[in-house]
Amino acid sequence: MHDRPPGPPPRKAGLHSLPYYVRFAMDPLGFVGERFAQYGNIYYAPSGATGLFVLRDPEHLRQVLATDAASYSKAHSSSARIEQVIGHGLLTLDGDDWKRHRRMIQPAFNRAALRSYAETMVHETERLVARWPTDQRIDVAAEMTELTLQIVGRTLFSHDAGSASTDISSAMRTFNATMGQPDLLPKWMPSPMRSRLKRAVGRLDKIVYDLIDARAAGRSRGDDLLQSLVDAVDGEGDGGKLTRREVHDELVTLFLAGHETTSNALAWTLYLLARNPEALAKLEAEVARVVGDRSPTMDDLEAMPWLDQVLRESMRLYPPAFAVARRAEVDTTIGEFAVPAGSEIILWIYWAHRDPRWFPEPEVFRPERFEPALVAKLPKMAYLPFGGGPRACIGAQFSLMEARLVLAVLVQHCRLDLVRPGQTVRSRTGVTLTPRGGLPMIVRTRTRAQRAA
């Protein structure tokens, strides 16, 4: 047993640490990647009174997320800003409270519920594509964000949200923008960024509480996630229902997680397909063969394995959850290293996905990696775009179904070309990995005859 893994020396105090923060802020992915290259698959970074363990090895990820999950909580220092918006939902809860919420919400994501959402996903995508001008430039990242906001708004709130959907979307955009910026000022010091976030949270709270109160009072009903949460009963526990605040926190959590992860997965997939014309041609042929000129359905997805492999490879390169944070609540171990209670842990899924031991030529887009026979050879937790263990994302199947249906519709109706051949887009870290500066592409609309061919 070793006291701690190798790692960098302690940072200097005060302004002497500024170069560290600047380097990390400019390129956090590259910064961490360099440290893995220097110190190995686990390293220790002195950080205040706690210390930080940084991981990417599948066995270490499995220990923290699955086999020893009870030793860790989500009470990481990075959670404070997220809690300002989502409160105490599944993303931030721990222990018995998390278990109670999870079992009460789970029915909203069973197969029957997913089937009821599929038609909305396809319909909203077809409406979007119909508005796109052919041979014109659009920002695909922004378009995917707006699309997934519409979809999650419809599936969460049905038609009750009305014009409120626009205000909710605006608040979420403000949150996403602030999460992508470092907040280095003392907590007592006001800043324009904090003021924008506070105003956005206030607007969001009012809208969501109004929707909850209307349902709770019986003034409206809907076949959606909001109704599922309002009606949910803890049949395995005390038989109680979620409080008004609990329903609010879960709605906001699901709204954030339900659009941000999927929109970026789609944007990166369209970018990668545009850079890999052979993979795109194979996908176009598969969609044409299975779907033709009709609207795709949930039942079509099993007949399109290449579609699934394309998305999974895209999420390997740009995982929706690129890093996961935990805090050790008791003295424990990771591999051969002692982990004192209070230590903070960062699990870098991004770098686990780019480990050449499991993914040769990891920077190359190669959907064939996800053929079933090859997937079976991967170590457990070498690939986990939605996290892993009991705390894996409850909406993973929702997001995967949405991404596949949306991509099928897009491929069916148009081709999206890069503005410049060989165009490269860098990522920006926020809640998820987003295309830095957007993703400009040219729309090439398909005729009805081309879609049916």
CATH number (domain holding residue 157): 1.10.630.10
pLDDT value at position 167? 67
Band (376; pLDDT cuts 50, 70, 90): very high
Q: Has residue 168 been placed in a domain?
A: yes
pLDDT digits (tens, 9 = 90+) for 118-155: 999 999 999 999 999 999 999 999 999 889 888 888 88
Q: Has residue 204 been placed in a domain?
A: yes
Whole-model pTM over 0.85: yes
Quote the mean pLDDT of the chain. 85
pLDDT digits (tens, 9 = 90+) for 399-443: 999 999 999 999 999 999 999 888 899 998 877 888 988 999 999
Q: Has residue 54 been placed in a domain?
A: yes
The residues, ordered by sequence, that sit 6+ positions from 108 with a Cβ below 8 Å of its Cβ are 225, 228, 229, 232
Q: What's the maximum distance between 2 C-alpha atoms anywhere in the chain?
A: 67
Q: Has residue 5 been placed in a domain?
A: no
Task: Find out whether 434 and 125 touch, Cβ atoms under 8 Å.
Answer: no
pLDDT at 98 over 60: yes
Strand order in the sheet with 72-73: 42-45, 52-55, 344-347, 324-328, 72-73
pLDDT value at position 20? 67
Q: How far apart are CA 414 and CA 412, in angstroms?
A: 6
pLDDT digits (tens, 9 = 90+) for 299-336: 999 999 999 999 999 999 999 889 999 999 999 999 99
pLDDT value at position 24? 75
Q: How far apart are CA 345 and CA 326, in angstroms?
A: 5
Secondary element (H or E) of residue 444 = strand 440-445
Top pLDDT among 216 and 290 is at 290
Q: How far apart are CA 295 and CA 175, in angstroms?
A: 34
pLDDT value at position 102? 86
Q: Has residue 281 been placed in a domain?
A: yes
Indicate the SS3 state at residue 122: helix
Top pLDDT among 75 and 351 is at 351
Percent of the chain residues topping a pLDDT of 90: 48
pLDDT digits (tens, 9 = 90+) for 58-75: 999 999 999 999 999 887
pLDDT digits (tens, 9 = 90+) for 7-21: 998 876 655 566 666
Indicate the SS3 state at residue 195: helix
Q: Domain range for residue 141?
A: 14-452
pLDDT value at position 359? 97
Token pair in block for residue 297: 């359905």
Token pair in block for residue 151: 């979809």
Q: Has residue 387 been placed in a domain?
A: yes
pLDDT value at position 313? 98
Q: How many domains does the chain have?
A: 1
The residues, ordered by sequence, that sit 6+ positions from 248 with a Cβ below 8 Å of its Cβ are 87, 205, 208, 209, 212
Q: Has residue 145 been placed in a domain?
A: yes
* Helix, strand, coil percent content, the chain, rounded in steps of 5: 55, 10, 35
pLDDT at 97 over 90: no
Q: Tokens 């780019």 correspond to what residue? A: 354
Q: Has residue 4 been placed in a domain?
A: no
